[in-house]
Chain A
């Protein structure tokens, strides 16, 4: 993984010292909240309902075990003993005291971490596939390009005050686990007819009030031109994006307003001016970054796929189910990638205790190469585990109550903080996720239903990505009462689509029954082996509506 050079280390150290001073001035009353707010936001510090919230950047979700141990230490020392995994593959702390935040940032800087650009109208943490570098079907590891984007966008002076926040995702695999089509810029590594590697560039995806699937503006961009082309897109957006209305300020609105062809022309015209300048990526520069992502020292192992298939016949049904749902084929024979779902009954989705962070970090050292990835669905992944050690790993995870077999199953729920924490919320998300998990967590039900995503947001801002859940749940406020709207048919994968509203909003105490009826409807409507999403697409929402609104 990428290691800081002296320049990175210095700039982050200086930033911590600067924020230390700003916090001291705020606490002494020398500066007002109005003056302090933009400063704290630049350092990832929000104000929520009960306390400050600090969002720590985890570039494309990748962590060393030392970094995860440090995150655990922060949770234990300065927060309430836990952290929250976000859909941007970051970590959030819900309870830090203001005077402790500089200490937290100093502790993080020691392990090459920070909270810069995790908030505000700037380019946020670039996200990626949690199986980057190991997915069998992957064309090329996207992490070096994510890292190049991180270096280009961090403290980029021209893009420090964009019309609105800006999110970029990169996938190197045709299977999209990075949700690139719902990003301001989505990047796919592709191969052209001449067999050269480059990028397809998509723009204008996003959720919120105006959900949009991103549109492709370039089928093939040579690797050397990645940063200059991104710069051209950002310049067009920075100049022409709306600043008069925050709900119309994202790039998707500009792409809508101009039309995708006119937007593309504007970008290409801007790019023509800069493409052969200093931002051209040389082979040496690409190699400099790529060397940080060289594969670890894999052993030569025999019998990979056959061994995994054999283990799936294990008489231990829970272990066999976990292999089926949480273990992904690896590009290196004899290895597998493992998802540790941080979703189980009674636990807020994505919340992980300091003890569990430490335990997972140790397991990553013992069973992997000391690396852990935070996934877009608020889980953790150990990307390189020997297949012959999967059972031993699962036994340890199971003893920690982290061995649930539910990755991409009905209880692998994305939920935003909702009204329990968020000042913008209309309704609670976490209790709905917990009630659904309580209802659906039995192995028979999970296995019976199979692949399914449920995403819950507490308001139209859609941080819980409800539009692209196979089942989306949106909290709304009806005269002070919590109601929930159901959507069916969304996806953030390569077959991305926006869910369709099923019918009138449902009161809080009926929403779990309603989702259960959606699943019963699916089981009665599906063809053999048909996924929930494919079933909804084939039969339409009406057949579901008839069975849900009884």
Chain B
């Protein structure tokens, strides 16, 4: 299991993911993943100090899945998949 730090951007409420060099990305596939919970928790602690930029950071589970013939990291929970990809229904 891998872990990713996520939060909602303060400006837009959009899901964002912790990326290398203490940055944030809107793309799940550009997120930094942690193989060990302790490392992920440390990253979460650091993210919590960025309250102006993001709201309510938390950890999510991620795992590799085969997508278009390639292994890609994906959120495990359906809710997090929808958060990462957007609504599953077309906007009107």
Q: Which residues of A contact B (CB under 8 A)?
A: 26-29, 32-33, 47-52, 80-82, 97-99, 346-348, 351-353, 419-421, 423, 425, 428, 430-431, 434, 480, 482
Contact = CB atoms under 8 A, between A and B. Distances in A.
B11 A27 contact: yes
Interface stretch (B36-44, B48-56, B66-74): B48-56
Nearest to A342: B92
- The 3 A-B pairs with the shortest beta carbon distances in the complex, nearest first, are A29-B52, A52-B13, A51-B13
Contacts of A51: 12-14
B25 interface: no
Chain B at the A interface: SS class: loop
B92 A353 contact: yes
A419 B12 contact: no
Given A28-B52, A482-B78, A49 B89 contact: no
Nearest to B81: A419
B92 A348 contact: yes
B87 A50 contact: yes
B89 A434 contact: yes
B48 to A, nearest CB: 10
Contacts of B14: 50-51
Interface of B: 8, 10-15, 51-53, 55-56, 76-79, 82-83, 86-92
B17 to A, nearest CB: 14
Contacts, number: 75
A420 B11 contact: no
A32 B83 CA distance: 23
Q: Which of B8, B12, B83, B87 has the most CB of A within 10 A?
A: B87
Contacts of A421: 87
A527 to B, nearest CB: 38
Q: Which of A50, A421, A480 has the most CB of B within 10 A?
A: A50
Contact of B86 (A27, A48, A50, A428): A50
Contacts of A431: 88-89
A426 to B, nearest CB: 9
A420 B55 CA distance: 20
B79 A425 contact: yes
A48 B55 CA distance: 12
Given A28-B52, A33-B56, A98-B11, A49 B92 contact: no
A346 B77 CA distance: 26
Q: Which of B15, B52, B83 has the most CB of A within 10 A?
A: B52
B12 A97 contact: yes
B65 to A, nearest CB: 13
Contacts of A348: 89, 92
Given A47-B8, A49-B79, A425-B79, A32 B51 contact: yes
Nearest to A427: B78
A294 B79 CA distance: 49
Contacts of B86: 50
Given A28-B52, A82-B92, A98-B10, 18 more contacts: A27-B11, A29-B51, A29-B53, A33-B56, A48-B13, A49-B82, A49-B83, A50-B87, A51-B14, A52-B12, A52-B13, A97-B12, A97-B13, A98-B11, A419-B79, A419-B82, A430-B89, A434-B89
Contacts of B12: 51-52, 97-98
A434 B90 CA distance: 11
A313 to B, nearest CB: 35
B80 to A, nearest CB: 9
A50 B90 CA distance: 14
A420 B92 contact: no
Nearest to A351: B92
A153 B77 CA distance: 41
16 contacts: A29-B51, A29-B52, A48-B13, A49-B82, A52-B12, A52-B13, A80-B91, A81-B91, A82-B91, A82-B92, A97-B12, A346-B90, A351-B91, A419-B79, A420-B82, A430-B89
Contacts of B13: 47-48, 50-52, 97-98
Nearest to A433: B89
Contacts of A351: 91-92
A29 B91 CA distance: 32
B45 to A, nearest CB: 15
Contacts of B79: 49, 419, 423, 425
Given A52-B12, A351-B92, A419 B51 contact: no
B92 A352 contact: yes
Nearest to A353: B92
B83 A50 contact: yes
Contacts of A353: 92
B10 A27 contact: yes
Contacts of A82: 91-92
A425 B51 CA distance: 25
Nearest to B8: A47
A281 to B, nearest CB: 42
B92 A347 contact: yes
A173 B55 CA distance: 46
A239 to B, nearest CB: 33
Nearest to A32: B51
Contacts of B52: 27-29
B15 A49 contact: yes
B78 A419 contact: yes
A433 to B, nearest CB: 9
Nearest to B57: A33
B92 A428 contact: no
